[in-house]
Copies of this chain bind each other. A is one copy, B any other.
Amino acid sequence: MNTQDLVKPIARSTPSKIVLMVLDGLGGLPDPRTGKSELETARKPNLDKLAAEGVCGLSVPVGYGITPGSAPGHTALFGYDPITVNIGRGVLEAVGIDFPLQHGDVLARGNFCTVDDKGNITDRRAGRVATEINVKLCQMLSTKIGDVQVICTPVKEHRFVVCFRGINLSPDVTESDPQTVGVPALEITALHPVAEKMAEVANKFSDFAKKTLAAQHPANMALLRGFSQKPHLPSMEEIYKLKPAAIATYPMYRGLARLVGMEILKTGTTIEDEVATLRENWDKFDFFFFHVKKLDAAGEDGDFARKVQGIEEIDRSIPGIMALKPDVLVVTGDHSTPAMLKGHSWHPVPTLLHGQYCRPDTVMAFNESDCLRGGLGIFPATNIMPLALANALKLSKYGA
């Protein structure tokens, strides 16, 4: 049985408050020169104090050996099964630019690319064309095909989002992006009879793009992938009886939070801004998703030192959060991003839960090797929500 099916009937609304602090890409690997990971290297007295007082463990976002993208990493943290809940690339790009999704829309991720005079792709990113050009090209490509409205919205450089808006559209189609060069864009085909209209419209759009962009070298063609629709997710309020809010500096994480029914709070660009937002809204909600991006960005860049500094900066924000006296504070990540691997990884994520009713363990420092000895063990990330709710006394007894 799904964790949420178990929790839903016993969840109850109470005044207690939960903060779920998600440090994107938190987990790391040792620097071979020192044998210490980013967390083991950073000076972080506040996080260590929380670890010492609370209960720790290592959370597994999707499964052993599985490196999660941002979407499954977060759905798991919100308690949704990251395997059955499938958020496609198109939808993720769209929520990442705050695109106003409507019921029935099919979204695709678009790439402006370069093709030669035979139509073969020579550069899948059109030389990372400038965003201003992207803006202009998206205007040229927004059109109507039959009764389907096609809305192109720029993201950045060569990346854009295509929204197909109309009736009877299904995302079950193949992609036109061959993800390689030297070949032409692929014909899009329906994977189910129900998707035939979508395939036809998408192919017509490809033809339209080819003609419309012909003189726009290097961005003289567009490739589509990740056709998807907004998933129908029950809201966190419905399942957990929470009044949840999201604080995140990056739009993609606000978008993910919106998909599970969180209210999105306006905030600035720094962790201090986010703490200020938390403080200002403290009385209005009983659950806060507090997302910090910077560790993931440093890890992706392979910048061990910057990831260490980021951890130290986050550590300095902890007293401001604890001053609000959350009943439960969880500090975790949606996945590991070791600087050594310059990307997301499969390694379990250090996780701590601080609250009056946790059973403390012997962990005295917040890092990968100490959390391994923690009271939560190595556990699926979907268990974090039930644990947080239980520790906030928001779950009744299960069964007679």
Do B66 and A398 have beta carbons less than 8 Å apart?
A: yes
Smallest distance from the beta carbon of A393 to chain B beta carbons, Å? 9
- A35 — nearest CB in chain B belongs to which residue? B360
Contacts of A395 in B (CB 8 A): 65-67, 346
Asked if A359 is at the interface of the complex by the 8 Å CB criterion, the answer is yes
**Stretch in A182-190, A277-285, A314-322, A378-386 with 4+ CB within 8 Å of B:** A378-386
A29-B357, A361-B372 as given contacts; A69 in contact with B341, CB under 8 Å: no
Chain A interface extent, by class: 35 or more
A6-B63, A379-B64, A383-B63 as given contacts; A69 in contact with B400, CB under 8 Å: yes
- A360 — nearest CB in chain B belongs to which residue? B30
Contacts of A361 in B (CB 8 A): 369, 372
State the oligomeric state as a number of copies: 2
Asked if A62 is at the interface of the complex by the 8 Å CB criterion, the answer is yes
- Complex CA–CA separation, A377 to B375 (angstroms): 10
Do A390 and B226 have beta carbons less than 8 Å apart?
A: no
A72-B399, A87-B399 as given contacts; A65 in contact with B357, CB under 8 Å: no
Contacts of A92 in B (CB 8 A): 400
Within 8 A of B (CB), among A339-379: 340-341, 343-347, 357, 359-362, 368-369, 372-373, 375-379
Contacts of A396 in B (CB 8 A): 67
Per-residue CB contact flags for chain A residues 48-78 toward chain B (1 = under 8 Å, else 0) read 0000000000000011111111111100000
Smallest distance from the beta carbon of A335 to chain B beta carbons, Å? 9
Do A386 and B69 have beta carbons less than 8 Å apart?
A: no
- A66 — nearest CB in chain B belongs to which residue? B398
Asked if A387 is at the interface of the complex by the 8 Å CB criterion, the answer is yes
Using a CB–CB cutoff of 8 Å, the interface residues on chain A facing chain B are 1, 3, 6-7, 10, 29-30, 37, 62-73, 82-84, 86-89, 91-92, 226, 340-341, 343-347, 357, 359-362, 368-369, 372-373, 375-379, 383, 385-391, 395-400
8 examples of A-B residue contacts, CB within 8 angstroms: A62-B398, A67-B390, A87-B400, A91-B400, A346-B387, A362-B369, A373-B373, A377-B377
